[in-house]
Amino acid sequence: MQIMEPKQEKKAPEKTKWTDIKNSSGQKLILVILAVFFCLLLAVILLLGREYLWVPEKIQEGSISRNNIYAPFDFNFNGINGDRIEVKKNELIIQRGERINKTQELALLGLQKLQRQPKKLYYLLGIILLLIIFAVFSVVYINIYGPKVILKTKNVLLLCILSLFAVVITKATVISSVSLYLIPLASFSMLAAILIGPGMAFMFTVIMSVFIGILTGGRFELMVTMLAGGIVSIYAVLNVRRRRSLTKAGVLIGLTNMVSIVGMGLINFIPLNNLVVRSCWGLANGIISAIIVTGVLPIFEILFNITTNISLLELSDLNQPVLKELVMKAPGTYHHSLVVGNLAESAAEAVGANSLLSRVGGYFHDIGKLRMAPYFSENQNFAEDKHENLSPSISSLIIINHIKEGVELAKKYRLGQEIIDIITQHHGMDVVYYFYHRALGQHSEEKTKVEAEDFRYSGPKPQSKEAAIVMLADSVEAASKSLPQRTPAKIQDLVNRIINNKFIDGQLDECDLTLKDLHIIAEVFTHILNGIFHARVEYPNLNLNQASNEQYKNKELSEKDKSQSGEAKKNSKRDPQK
Is 9 inside a domain boundary? no
Cα 114-120-124 angle, rounded to 5 deg: 150
- Tell me: do 367 and 264 sit in the same domain: no
3-state SS, residue 139:
helix
- Tell me: do 183 and 208 sit in the same domain: yes
Pick the last residue of a domain from 304, 331, 360.
Answer: 304
Total domains in the chain come to 3
pLDDT digits (tens, 9 = 90+) for 182-222: 999 999 999 999 998 888 899 889 988 988 887 777 788 89
Short-list 101, 85, 54, 88, CA closest to 269:
88
Q: CB–CB of 174/215 below 8 Å?
A: yes
pLDDT at 415: 92
H or E element, residue 70: strand 69-70
- Tell me: do 174 and 239 sit in the same domain: yes
Short-list 62, 95, 57, 41, CA closest to 217:
95
- Tell me: do 463 and 550 sit in the same domain: no
As a whole number of angstroms, the distance between CA 156 and CA 146 comes to 12
- Tell me: do 473 and 356 sit in the same domain: yes
Region 509-530 average pLDDT: 93
Output the DSSP codes for 370-398. Answer: STTGGGSGGG--TT--TTTTS-HHHHHHH
pLDDT at 468: 95
- Tell me: do 379 and 516 sit in the same domain: yes
pLDDT digits (tens, 9 = 90+) for 360-390: 999 999 999 998 998 998 888 766 778 888 8
- Tell me: do 493 and 356 sit in the same domain: yes
Is 6 inside a domain boundary? no
Is the four-CA dihedral 233, 237, 243, 249 of positive or negative sign? negative
In this predicted structure, the answer to whether residue 12 has a pLDDT above a threshold of 50 is no
pLDDT at 401: 93
H or E element, residue 37: helix 25-53
What type of residue is 4?
M
Share of the chain above pLDDT 70, in %: 77
pLDDT at 99: 84
Cross-strand partners of 75: 87
pLDDT at 447: 54
pLDDT at 252: 95
In this predicted structure, the answer to whether residue 22 has a pLDDT above a threshold of 50 is no
- Tell me: do 252 and 350 sit in the same domain: no
- Tell me: do 230 and 336 sit in the same domain: no
pLDDT digits (tens, 9 = 90+) for 296-349: 999 999 888 888 999 999 999 999 999 999 999 999 999 999 999 999 999 999
Q: Within 240-271, where are the H helices? A: 245-267
In this predicted structure, the answer to whether residue 409 has a pLDDT above a threshold of 60 is yes
Q: pLDDT grade, residue 60 (50/70/90)? A: confident
- Tell me: do 329 and 293 sit in the same domain: no
As a whole number of angstroms, the distance between CA 183 and CA 350 comes to 40
HEC per residue, 272-326: HHHHHHHHHHHHHHHHHHHHHHHHHHHHHHHHHCCCCHHHHHHHCCCCCHHHHHH
Short-list 67, 427, 421, CA closest to 219:
67
Residue 447's CB: how many other CB atoms inside 10 A? 6
Q: pLDDT grade, residue 86 (50/70/90)? A: confident
pLDDT at 11: 41
As a whole number of angstroms, the distance between CA 324 and CA 409 comes to 13
pLDDT at 519: 95
**Half-sphere exposure at residue 564, Cβ-oriented, CA atoms within 13 angstroms:** 6
In this predicted structure, the answer to whether residue 422 has a pLDDT above a threshold of 90 is yes
Within 8 A by CB and 6+ apart from 344, the residues are 358, 359, 361, 362, 466, 469, 470, 473
pLDDT at 214: 78
What are the distances in angstroms from CA 457 to CA 322, 350, 432? 24, 29, 8
Q: Which structural domain range is residue 549 located in?
A: 542-578
Kindly report the pTM of this predicted structure: 0.75
pLDDT at 13: 43
